[in-house]
Amino acid sequence: GAGVSQSPSNKVTEKGKDVELRCDPISGHTALYWYRQSLGQGLEFLIYFQGNSAPDKSGLPSDRFSAERTGGSVSTLTIQRTQQEDSAVYLCASSDRIGTNEKLFFGSGTQLSVL
């Protein structure tokens, strides 16, 4: 596709339910990131993938959060047993790394609201 695509754009769920957020990166981009942006807060790093592997999962807030990437392309971020504090915009970005220069291309995000 022309850019990074995220779905859904908005998700409203009840506390305790599981949600899946999807990211379609730019074709051929090897690196893929998930960030979280809470109201009035900056960008919180969650996890990144190089190909299908995740060298750094240190940003995942708890074991309720998990992510996978298949075929070096689409990624899914899963939040189990959602809590109200999980409400935020979840942003995905992909990058075609050239050496240590990493230019990130972002999707428009998924606005998650946990009631």
Which residue ranges make up the site for other proteins (CB under 8 A)? 4, 33, 35, 41-43, 45, 48, 50, 55-56, 91, 93, 95, 99-109
Tokens 């220069």 correspond to: 101
For residue 61, what are its two tokens? 């807030």
Smallest gap from residue 89 Cβ to other proteins (A): 9
The distance of closest approach from Cβ of residue 49 to other proteins in the complex, given in angstroms and rounded to an integer, is 10
d(CA 55, CA 45): 13
Q: Please, what is the minimum distance in Å from the beta carbon of residue 61 to other proteins?
A: 15
Q: Is the peptide bond before 61 cis (omega within 30 degrees of 0)?
A: no
Nearest alpha carbon to residue 107 among 85, 74, 80? 74
The letter for the amino acid at 64 is R
Identify which of residues 16 and 38 has a Cβ nearer to other proteins in the complex. 38
- Closer Cβ to other proteins, 4 or 67, answer by number: 4
Considering the complex, state which of residue 41 and residue 78 has its C-beta at the smaller distance from other proteins: 41
